[in-house]
Amino acid sequence: MATAPPSTYSAVTLNINGEKHTLTVDHRTTLLDALRERLDMTGTKKGCDQGQCGACTVLLDKRRAVACLQLAVAAEGREITTIEGVAEGDRLHPVQQAFLDLDGYQCGYCTPGQICSAVAVIEEHAAGWPSAATDDVRPEAGPPPLTAEEIRERMSGNLCRCGAYVSIVQAVARAAEADARAAQDAPDTQGAPAAQGTEHEGAAA
Amino acid sequence: MKEFGYERAADVSGALALLDADPDARFLGGGTNLVDLMKTGVERPARLVDVRELPLDRIESTEDGGLHIGATVTNSDLAAHPDVRRRYPALTQAVLAGASGQLRNMATVGGNLLQRTRCGYFADVSKPCNKRVPGSGCPAIEGEHHNHAILGASDHCVATHPSDLGVALAAFDAVVSYETTDGPGELPLTDLYLPVGDTPHLETALPPGALITGVTLPPAPAGAVSRYRKVRERASYAFAIGSIAAALDVRDGVVHEVRLAFGAVASRPWRARAAEAALTGGPVDAAAFAAAADAELAAAEPLPHNGYKVTLMRNLVVAVLSELAEEAAR
Amino acid sequence: MTTTTTGTTTGGTAVRAVGTAHSRVEGRDKVTGAARYAAEIPFTELAYGWLVLSTVTRGRISSVEDAPVLAMPGVLAVLHHGNAPRVDIDYVGMLGMRPDPTVAVFQHDRVPHAGWPVALVVAETSEQAREAAEALVVHYEEEPHDVAFSAGHADAYSMPGPAGPGVTGKGDLEAQLAASSFVLDAEYSTPEEHHNPMEPHAATAHWDGGRLEVVDSNQGTIWVAAELASLFSLDPASVHVRSEHVGGGFGSKGVRAHQVAAVMAATVLSRPVRVAMTRRQMFSLAGYRSPTTQRVRLGVDAAGRLLALEHSCLSLTSTVHEFIESGAGPARVMYDAPAHHTANRVVRLDVPSPTFMRAPGEAPGSFALESALDELAEKSGIDPIELRVRNEPEVGPVSGLPFSSRNLTACFREGARRFGWADRDPRPGLRREGRWLLGTGTAAASFFAGAAPSTAAATAEADGTFTVRINAADIGTGARTALTLVAADALQVPTDRVRVRIGDSDFGPAMIAGGSMGTRSWAWAVTAAAEELRERMALSDGIPPEGITVRSDTTAAVGALAQKERHSFGAQFAEVAVDVATGEVRVRRMLGIFAAGKIVNPLTARGQFTGGMIWGISMALHEEAVRDRNTGALYGADLAGYHVASNADVPLVEADWVDDPDPDDPVGIKGIGEIGIVGAAAAIANAVWHATGVRHRQLPIRPDRVIRADAHA
């Protein structure tokens, strides 16, 4: 049966880093292109545009995803966090600080994706998710320790052609330790963004 | 990518009606395969019907002790679910062996089963491909095919199905449920995919316009241990060159029940029933495992550059069954 | 106030910053996403160009059906050979090379290889441009092609390259081989490899008041500006190229089709036009490392001293441009023998033009030569390190020139100690851990250490800070930070008072980021300018509002360097695990010890070395572009089909260095960008042999090859 040609544009409201942006998008526009070409948020990088490199990793509803395969029109109603929304104001997220201090990059192009991915990896691990590096995936085995091998596997969706993997793994490990310490110090803030260092007193004030 | 319409379906019947109204429409799940294929021009739908938010996102135990998995459950949620990890560990392992953390968060169970082959000729619209353009030819047979099929292929197509998840589902006797405007239906996963023959462009036995709504797993074989092993050309974030899902139940020193399925060797997840028959009731040793693998792989028809897969699959059968036998003995 | 200095001053300042770890000065921008790369600078009225590449491998364009595409929504122009502005390619560029005609897009109807640019579609949005480019119908008259590369190709010829003459030779090879106690004769091959920087090539061009402005991602803005000026017959001063942040290059980011197409479209449309390559297009347009087939013949006497060495390397190039992968180059530096013969040959096929890729020549050449040394060690029963130490040459084997410094043995001694080499049982196939066979291997590394003329400007600002302007490119090397440390030391001020600005062709001529020569060349010019500035400040009464600026030019100083064999050296160590049942190979650990001049910033230098070593893992196990003979095009030209090492492939890789300052450089730098990959693949392949007893002479060592080799063993 014949139907009228569908509209190929839609008005959407995207919730990015806690701010709502309303725009009309060509349905072909990916979230990646909407961010970079329409909203001037260029921190999210285009490495392959095919889901094969991870440079465009953002968080959708707090979970990591590749923005290049996410249509912008289909992202309406979802909570989008990009690299621009990872820090708290001027204070870097512990993952960002660890990448900076441990030189977890070279050219820096894969870095925003690596950092968004690492933020999620720490959350996924804290939630008890196993990985392909986990020997025993049964829940009875308990959550696997976040070894270097676990970090490598969990971070493998983010290619780094400069080959900064060694310091990336060290940076993720350092940030995860800080996160675990923070969670131990303030168990009631579970799920909130990890506090930097041990500044829980300030957070409680 | 050509322009297209986009609708978000509110419920299953709405989704079916939208698709029924437009023969050039496609369902959009996580989009991890479809959006990529639209970018490369392999898929050119006129309309997308977004089914990601349909209420098909639950994993529930069935009355007989099995598990029902909704079609829009993400790969990540499937892999992390305690019942899956406890009762079907090979399924969790298979999912976690696929793609990346980012893609598993996006990809759905239904979409995973319907993903297209990763054959490089299929993905390149400047090349002939019988699966993409029927009758145009298969350049893989004379060209690059070191990661193509050794089982169940034809002179028309030697592409493999890339799913890891599907291999484990095949081993666990999964049944796929779907809805159409004419009502619901079911297919064993091993019957979901059509033989290649001279129609490689016809991939599934689903009726036109059908929407996969879920997958049901019968109870895992009692007392069985299970495992998924994947071999690929880098340690992570790569498609398989060979994989195996296996479940083994050893009683009184003989194989009481065994499940074997192969990945990356055929146009579908390959349930190795000949090997299972050879093993059942027999001894639990490497010689028996190898003989069973040979029984299955006798049907293999390798091309000049993928014959190694016969060796690889034989070795994987022996290695993984030996590991499971050891685990079962503990 | 401006003066010029010649750059003949040398060091002597109290070292404070150089040699200490310093996080990247632009690091905060990179971890927050604030750092903007080429395609991320906003322009009003920006239009988007999308390249259309040929779908045939050889032939002629018979027609470009542009009318239907021009009628599509948002389409502004379709440029092709029938309507594009003319360019001139009859010139010699800054690096002394003629341009690859691939950059002269849309000038004629010939198609010399698959993926040749045939048109540019420009539209208001990238979605419109992409769809229109995909819809553009181009008719071709197809001709038969030849892309088959193999050893002994009848049309091969020798030609000079970066490693010197095409052929070198001394002594009677056959006689010395006959006199040898142990002889090795083996063939090795390496595949077509692609740079694949994470940031795709992208350029935005527009005309501003009679000046061509280009924002681009490249390894040298003055280089690209000069090439564009030559191509478009413009006054070089009227071309301005900026490239502040560059997402990797590895040799691929010079002048390419995208910049030229963007300039053409900006000229035709009189508005800014951006052209970005897709990842798939990069496999046709960005250059690559040629595949090689190599033959190595070695003969040693009973004491392990080389009597005969022959290394010949065949690579390919396109039918439109000569480029040679000089795989036989390392043999001219590493080992001497009474009979010593090397040859680099090339064959022209219907393929895209190859180009420089990280350690050109050395990376594939060292795989063959250093694998051969290991095989010879096995045959002669001499420890692989000892065999190399016994063959340390006094002078350049071909040149006869002295080495500026050669600390290879020190690298091996330190590496062996730290890696635990002394405990190694040389016999293969003995160590098993579960399903894994374990083995260790080693290899030597070297890379040319050079400097090229550069200019810099150092300004003392009235507020007490300093601004250094140098046309450097930081493609991830940490050059911007290294130059900050160098400038601070030369100025004798803390680093936080120094601001280094780079990546702008208006800053004047300077070396590109290439040949491991960038940081050294730039640091020389920065040191000269800064030291002169400090002296001038000492003589002046305060700083005027416009500041005091000193310019340097190192042309004379660099030109005065004495002729010597100048190289960095290194020793690579690897431990691998191999499952011969599944063909999987995993690197378990790597250690590289380098003698590579003064290390300016240990934090970023370590990343340069280990990054190179990880390229070695990737080269040894993963990377291979497969060219389909029937279609002449690549199979699986994307990052799922072309594997580079993922995080899970990379174990703890460690790099360290021995003291090795270059006595002829003001800072002591040699250059570290490329040596990390040299020898790394050989060390891994040698370890695979030690684990399994099977030699892999074809890269990459893929699972199917391991399985097949095991079946034949």
Domain boundary among C538, C559, C580: C559
C498-501 and C466-470 strand pairing: parallel
Length of chain C: 713
**Residue C638, domain CATH:** 3.30.365.10
In chain B, ranges of CATH 3.30.390.50 domains: 225-329
Percent over 90 (pLDDT), chain B: 98
* Inter-chain residue contact C708 with B308, CB threshold 8 Å: yes
Do A98 and A194 have their domain in common? yes
Domain boundary among C543, C559, C575: C559
B97 lies within 8 A of chain A by CB: yes
- Which partners does chain A have (≥3 C-beta pairs < 8 Å)? B, C
Structural domain contains residue C491: yes
Task: Render pLDDT for A65-111 as a digit per residue (tens, 0 to 9).
Answer: 999 999 999 999 999 999 999 999 999 999 999 999 999 999 999 99
Mean pLDDT for C642-671 is 97
The structural domain count of chain A equals 2
* Whole-number Å distance between alpha carbons of B124 and B117: 12
Residues 6+ positions from B38 with CB-CB distance below 8 Å: A28, B1, B4, B44, B45
Domain boundary among A85, A116, A134: A85
Two structure tokens written together for A60? 């959708």
Two structure tokens written together for C712? 């034949």
Mean pLDDT for B191-214 is 98
In chain B, ranges of CATH 3.30.43.10 domains: 1-51
Do C702 and C588 have their domain in common? yes
Do C604 and C709 have their domain in common? yes
Give the pLDDT score at A201: 30
Do C461 and C431 have their domain in common? no
Do C536 and C587 have their domain in common? no
Give the pLDDT score at C354: 98
Greatest Cα-to-Cα distance within chain A, rounded to the nearest angstrom: 66
The DSSP 8-state label assigned to residue C324 in this structure reads: -
Structural domain contains residue C543: yes
Portion 580-609 of C in contact with A at CB < 8 A:
603-604, 606-608
Domain boundary among A26, A56, A85: A85
Two structure tokens written together for C547? 């500041």
Residues 6+ positions from C47 with CB-CB distance below 8 Å: C76, C122, C123, C124, C265, C269, C271, C272, C273, C274
Instruction: State the smallest CA–CA distance between residue B21 and chain C in angstroms.
Output: 25
Instruction: Calculate the alpha carbon distances from C301 to A34, B84, C184, C314 in Å.
Output: 68, 65, 12, 28
Residue A169 has pLDDT above 60, yes or no: yes
Contact C691, C431 (CB under 8 A): yes
Q: How many CB atoms lie within 10 A of CB A190?
A: 9
- Cite the beta strand spans of B205-306 per DSSP E: 211-217, 225-232, 240-251, 254-263, 270-271
Give the pLDDT score at C40: 98
**Residue A64, domain CATH:** 3.10.20.30
Do A52 and A114 have their domain in common? no
Confidence of residue A3 (pLDDT cuts 50, 70, 90): low
Do C567 and C627 have their domain in common? yes
Instruction: Calculate the alpha carbon distances from B326 to B52, B225, B256, B321 in Å.
Output: 41, 10, 15, 8
Do A98 and A172 have their domain in common? yes
- Cite the beta strand spans of C97-151 per DSSP E: 110-111, 117-123, 137-142
* Whole-number Å distance between alpha carbons of C486 and C497: 13
Give the pLDDT score at C8: 42
Residue C712 has pLDDT above 80, yes or no: no
Domain that holds residue C594: 387-450+562-713
Burial category of C465 from C-beta neighbours within 10 Å (exposed 0-12, middle 13-18, buried 19 and up) = middle
Contact C64, C119 (CB under 8 A): yes
Instruction: State the smallest CA–CA distance between residue B139 and chain C in angstroms.
Output: 8
Instruction: State the smallest CA–CA distance between residue C629 and chain B in angstroms.
Output: 7
Task: Render pLDDT for C498-545 as a digit per residue (tens, 0 to 9).
Answer: 999 999 999 999 999 999 999 999 999 999 999 999 999 999 999 999
Do A117 and A174 have their domain in common? yes
Give the pLDDT score at A77: 96
Structural domain contains residue A79: yes
Structural domain contains residue C422: yes
Give the pLDDT score at C711: 79
Residues 6+ positions from C408 with CB-CB distance below 8 Å: C388, C392, C444, C446, C569, C570, C571, C595
**Residue A193, domain CATH:** 1.10.150.120
Do C581 and C688 have their domain in common? yes
pTM higher than 0.90: yes
Structural domain contains residue C204: no
Q: Across the strands, what pairs with B254? A: B251, B283
Residue A203 has pLDDT above 90, yes or no: no
Structural domain contains residue C269: no
Do C530 and C408 have their domain in common? no
The DSSP 8-state label assigned to residue B276 in this structure reads: H
Give the pLDDT score at A182: 87
Do C605 and C539 have their domain in common? no
- Which partners does chain C have (≥3 C-beta pairs < 8 Å)? A, B
Do C713 and C614 have their domain in common? yes
Side-chain-side CA neighbours of residue C142 (13 Å): 12
Task: Render pLDDT for B128-179 as a digit per residue (tens, 0 to 9).
Answer: 999 999 999 999 999 999 999 999 999 999 999 999 999 999 999 999 999 9
CATH dotted code for B1-51:
3.30.43.10
Sort out which chain A residues have CB atoms less than 8 A from B89's CB and list them: 137-138
* Inter-chain residue contact C127 with A84, CB threshold 8 Å: no
Contact A58, A44 (CB under 8 A): yes
Structural domain contains residue C188: no
Structural domain contains residue A1: no
Instruction: State the smallest CA–CA distance between residue B41 and chain C in angstroms.
Output: 8
B225-232 and C182-190 strand pairing: unpaired
Sort out which chain C residues have CB atoms less than 8 A from B234's CB and list them: 621-622, 643, 645-646, 648-649
Residue C76 has pLDDT above 80, yes or no: yes
Confidence of residue C94 (pLDDT cuts 50, 70, 90): confident
Q: Give CATH superfamily name and number for B225-329.
A: CO dehydrogenase flavoprotein, C-terminal domain (3.30.390.50)
Domain boundary among A67, A85, A103: A85
Do C573 and C484 have their domain in common? no
Do C483 and C581 have their domain in common? no
Do A117 and A76 have their domain in common? no
Domain boundary among C523, C539, C559: C559
Structural domain contains residue A4: no
Two structure tokens written together for C18? 């150089």
* Inter-chain residue contact A169 with C647, CB threshold 8 Å: yes
Q: How many helices (H) and strands (E) does chain A have?
A: 6, 5
Note the Cα B32 to chain centre separation in Å. Answer: 15
Which of A107, A160, A168, A196 to probe by mutation at the C interface, max C CB count within 10 Å?
A107
Q: Give the closest residue to C64 by CA, choosing from C55, C73, C352, C103.
A: C55
C211-216 and C239-242 strand pairing: parallel
Do A100 and A194 have their domain in common? yes
* Whole-number Å distance between alpha carbons of B186 and B172: 16
Structural domain contains residue C500: yes
Side-chain-side CA neighbours of residue C447 (13 Å): 31
Confidence of residue A190 (pLDDT cuts 50, 70, 90): very low
Do C567 and C696 have their domain in common? yes
Sort out which chain C residues have CB atoms less than 8 A from B235's CB and list them: 586, 646, 648-649
Do A69 and A161 have their domain in common? no
The structural domain count of chain C equals 2
Residue C7 has pLDDT above 90, yes or no: no
Tell me the catalytic residues of C. 674
Task: Render pLDDT for C402-440 as a digit per residue (tens, 0 to 9).
Answer: 999 999 999 999 999 999 999 999 999 999 999 999 999
Domain that holds residue A46: 9-85
Confidence of residue A183 (pLDDT cuts 50, 70, 90): confident
Do A127 and A60 have their domain in common? no
Do A76 and A104 have their domain in common? no
